[in-house]
A and B are shown apart, each in its own frame.
Chain A
Amino acid sequence: MIIQEEINIPDDYLSSGIIPVVRIMNKIYNCEDEEVIIDCLKIRFVSPVFVISLMLFTYSCRKKVSLSNITTYLETILFFNELEPDKINSYNFISLLQTYLNKTYIPVISFPALANKSTDKDAILSAIENLLCNQLNLEKNVLIGLKYILAEMVDNITEHSESERGYLFAQSYPSKGYIDICIADQGITLKGSFDKAGMMFSGDVAAMRAANDCKSSKNLPSAENRGYGIYTSKNMLIEGLRGQFMMMSGSAIYLKDKKMYDIIELPRGFRLDGTLIALRLPYQNKDFLYTKYFE
């Protein structure tokens, strides 16, 4: 089966990329063929949520999914051809990132997520942050906030997901003054992490609610309280930077910004085998002070 969708995702809304992904996956799930081709001819402009969620859904799909008519734009962002920096030497990785200095995006990157690869992971993240800083001319106060938020999101993949790799794609919109960043894993989901810790929830939605309510699957009775990572990062993003936060895990989607908060269940039969976080981060804010949002 060949699927061809006209996709031109406007930059107005962080989460809108999930709509064509669900439509494409609906066709894939409902077709009888074991092999499916996504014809990219009519894909004009995509968003981080579209790219990363489509990748994750198709990677865990039981059918063989391939692409045809990949456009130059999709090739350049490394659509379904993610860069694995740990598989090339660090000098070559830094040099390759330099070629994106005048671009408005970071290409799709797959980074090692296991604890024994933390040094590599942290170095990769630092290189990405440096590139973003140079691309966007970030002021120091916003850069520190970005680093804080990204560090928490990425370290959660290592600490909770049991995923070997994480994924990142970022797109900035200079005329609008914000950047959309999507970070994801193919791990055990929020519910899976809670289940392993003996904290049973009725489903993905309940687990999503708990994760965003300061609960951690690694809360230990008399030791560290870990649930503050997502909470303080979200607070920093939404209250401090007036940004937006989206999280998808299993069958649950969580959306929050200053004006709204929503928990949504994917349509029946749809489930992300992993966790995805998308951030919309306005990066021009002289008054932002990240130390205000530590708790």
Chain B
Amino acid sequence: MNRIYISQILSDDLKSRSAVRSLYHTLKSMDLNELVFDFSNVNFASRSFIDEFYNVFIKQHSATIENVPDKIASIFDAVSRTQERNEKRIVKKNDTKSFKSVDDFCSYMTKIAF
């Protein structure tokens, strides 16, 4: 199996979905099912990166990941749990504030003191 060291081929600081897509374009000529993605020395990964990685490499191509730091493994877990989740979040409905004049808007923004 080919081993891909993520921190070397991308970065130890993983922030963008597009980085995953670039990686896919680089690797797509290979048998992705045979790849092992090694997350050694990765210091940070955003949720967006992990979500994209999960969908491109794990869900669609059954790739293997190894040496995933605990904190990043937690993000993988969260991402896999929220796939195709359709639950509605209960959001307290709030009336929208509209204003007839600039003065009214400015007075309101001053009053709410946010």
Q: Give the interface of A toward B (CB within 8 A).
A: 12-16, 18-19, 22-23, 26, 115-116, 118-119, 121-122, 125-126, 144, 147-148, 151-152, 154-155, 158-159, 205, 209, 212-214, 222-226, 228-229, 231-232, 244, 246, 252, 255, 257, 260-268, 290-291, 294-295
Cβ of A229: which chain B residues have Cβ within 8 Å of it?
A: 47-48
Q: Contact: B47 with A158, CB < 8 Å?
A: no
List which B44-95 residues lie within 8 A (CB) of chain A.
44, 46-49, 51-52, 54-55, 59, 71, 74-75, 77-78, 81-85, 89, 91-92, 94
Instruction: State how many angstroms separate the Cβ of B101 from the closest Cβ of chain A.
Output: 7
* Other-chain contact of B19, A118, A147, A244 (Cβ < 8 Å): A118
* Other-chain contact of A295, B44, B82, B102 (Cβ < 8 Å): B82
Instruction: State how many angstroms separate the Cβ of B95 from the closest Cβ of chain A.
Output: 8
Cβ of A158: which chain B residues have Cβ within 8 Å of it?
A: 16-18
Q: Contact: A16 with B17, CB < 8 Å?
A: no
Instruction: State how many angstroms separate the Cβ of A5 from the closest Cβ of chain B.
Output: 12
Cβ of A152: which chain B residues have Cβ within 8 Å of it?
A: 46-48
Instruction: State how many angstroms separate the Cβ of A200 from the closest Cβ of chain B.
Output: 18
Q: Contact: B48 with A15, CB < 8 Å?
A: no
Given A15-B109, A294-B47, check contact A257 B114 (CB 8 Å): yes
Across the A-B interface, the 7 shortest Cβ-Cβ residue pairs? A151-B46, A294-B78, A115-B18, A224-B55, A151-B15, A118-B18, A118-B16
Can you name 5 A-B pairs with beta carbons within 8 Å?
A12-B113, A16-B114, A159-B48, A224-B83, A257-B114
B98 (CB) vs chain A CBs: closest residue: A265
List which B10-30 residues lie within 8 A (CB) of chain A.
11, 13, 15-19, 21-22
Cβ of B81: which chain A residues have Cβ within 8 Å of it?
A: 295
Q: Contact: A22 with B106, CB < 8 Å?
A: yes
Cβ of A148: which chain B residues have Cβ within 8 Å of it?
A: 44, 46-47
Given A13-B113, A14-B114, check contact A225 B82 (CB 8 Å): yes
Query: In the docked arrangement, what's the CA distance between A94 and B111, Å?
Result: 42
Q: Contact: B109 with A16, CB < 8 Å?
A: yes
A251 (CB) vs chain B CBs: closest residue: B98
Cβ of A267: which chain B residues have Cβ within 8 Å of it?
A: 99-102, 104-105
Chain B: number of interface residues, binned into ranges: 35 or more
Q: Give the interface of B toward A (CB within 8 A).
A: 11, 13, 15-19, 21-22, 44, 46-49, 51-52, 54-55, 59, 71, 74-75, 77-78, 81-85, 89, 91-92, 94, 96-102, 104-106, 108-110, 112-114
Cβ of B110: which chain A residues have Cβ within 8 Å of it?
A: 16, 19
Q: Contact: B96 with A264, CB < 8 Å?
A: yes
Q: Contact: B114 with A125, CB < 8 Å?
A: no
Q: Contact: B105 with A22, CB < 8 Å?
A: yes
Cβ of A262: which chain B residues have Cβ within 8 Å of it?
A: 94, 97, 112, 114
Cβ of B11: which chain A residues have Cβ within 8 Å of it?
A: 122
Instruction: State how many angstroms separate the Cβ of A192 from the closest Cβ of chain B.
Output: 19
Query: In the docked arrangement, what's the CA distance between A159 and B48, Å?
Result: 10
18 additional A-B pairs beyond A147-B15, A225-B84, A264-B97, beta carbons within 8 Å, are A16-B109, A22-B105, A23-B102, A118-B19, A126-B15, A147-B13, A155-B16, A213-B89, A252-B96, A255-B114, A257-B114, A262-B94, A264-B105, A267-B100, A291-B71, A294-B47, A294-B75, A295-B82
